[in-house]
Amino acid sequence: MNREILRDTVQQLFANNKGLLAMDESTGTCNRRFAAAGIPQTLLMRRDYRELIVTTPRLKEYIGGAILYDETIRQQTKAGVPMAEVLMNAGIIPGIKVDLGTKPLAGFPNEMITEGLDGLRERLAEYKIMGARFAKWRAVISIGDNVPTSMGIEANVHALARYAALCQEADIVPIVEPEILMSGNHSLRRCEEVTEMVLKRLFYQLYRSRIDLEGIILKPNMVMAGAESGEQNTSEEIAEATVRCLLNSVPAAVPAIAFLSGGQSPMDADAHLNAMHTQSKGHLPWVVTFSFGRALQQPALAAWKGNTVNIKKAQRLLYEQTKAAAAARLGDFHREVETERWK
């Protein structure tokens, strides 16, 4: 492990107030989003869509790194340039999702475990040759009746720690993502409790696994009431609960926290991130930024519709979303102004 390389990568990813773009949807997830938008679910359409993203003009102004999926990192643009190379040429660091998705955790109904540790050392070596300098592994925790269990949490954070160790061994920065899902009817308070418990156990496992905390990125959920709870919270309440939870559980040695958007609208995700910054006035111990997937891509995907004539418009919308998220990262996002602009 070369600690300097890990630190340099983190520093470059988030320099100049940038964030990350998650474009690592698995084939199944990407196809589901295409189906919802009436786009044919083919290899070539997925290629065209990912090409649209990586060739977006000025993307690097607000994006320091983009997380790719295995299919994409092996793909080339129509002009025959590998997608990762397009990103590198544009000044954006390519990253790679290395988990292989979730399966039910045997013996524990309604809990999932993320797979992909077997052969990971070899896959990381291959991705590194393709240009990846950081990686992502997503663990999924649901809140519901009798879940999460202690075993469900332990199994997932243990896998995250083993993944992180393999990444650091290969000088690849691990994004450690323990996602507490938004679905459910739990309260904001319950989400805070569960998120805090998961993060505390995660950092204990990272410690036991001899992870260099200065060479990781944490990708957590924001603390929010369940989507079916009916509980309405303001951005200020969500930001306050999220920051309190993180301050209680994430060591200051961690250089950066980059949130997932988890199905929030772009406007909500940006407003919540913004509120964290306006409340804390620059006094947080970590870089606090975004690693959104849907909250950056949604408007672009809807505008593209799988049609070449819409590419420029879709790229403009993607760029605008990255700009709005970057403004939120500085506490300089104004919902009213944005709402007016997007009309």
Q: Which of residues 174-203 bind ligand 13P (CB under 6 A)?
A: 177
What residue number has its CB nearest to ligand 13P? 293
Indicate whether 292 belongs to the interface with ligand 13P (CB under 6 A): yes
Indicate whether 293 belongs to the interface with ligand 13P (CB under 6 A): yes
List the structure tokens of 327: 């403004």
Strands of 181-233, DSSP E: 217-218
Indicate whether 295 belongs to the interface with ligand 13P (CB under 6 A): yes
List the structure tokens of 40: 């044919």
Helices (H) and strands (E) in the chain, counts: 13, 10
Indicate whether 277 belongs to the interface with ligand 13P (CB under 6 A): no
Q: Of 46, 123, 138, 329, which lies in the binding site for ligand 13P, with binding defined by CB under 6 A?
A: 138
Active-site annotation holds for 343: no
Active-site annotation holds for 177: yes
How many residues make up the chain in this entry? 343
Indicate whether 262 belongs to the interface with ligand 13P (CB under 6 A): yes
Q: Which span (32-40, 160-168, 208-216, 255-263) binds ligand 13P, by CB under 6 A?
A: 255-263
Among residues 177, 179, 240, 320, the one annotated as catalytic is 177
Nearby residues of 151 by Cβ (< 8 Å), 6 or more positions away: 105, 108, 111
List the structure tokens of 215: 């060479």
Q: Which span (73-81, 111-119, 127-135, 259-267) binds ligand 13P, by CB under 6 A?
A: 259-267
CA–CA separation, 294 and 274 (whole Å): 17
CB 292 within 8 A of CB 324: no
What does R_g of the chain's alpha carbons equal in angstroms?
Answer: 19
Indicate whether 225 belongs to the interface with ligand 13P (CB under 6 A): no
User: Which DSSP string corresponds to 61-108?
Assistant: GTEEEEEEPHHHHT-B-TTS-BHHHHHHHTT-EEEEE----EEEPTTS
Q: Of 260, 288, 317, 326, which lies in the binding site for ligand 13P, with binding defined by CB under 6 A?
A: 260
Catalytic residue set: 177, 219
Name the residues that contact ligand 13P, by CB under 6 A.
22, 138, 177, 260-262, 292-295
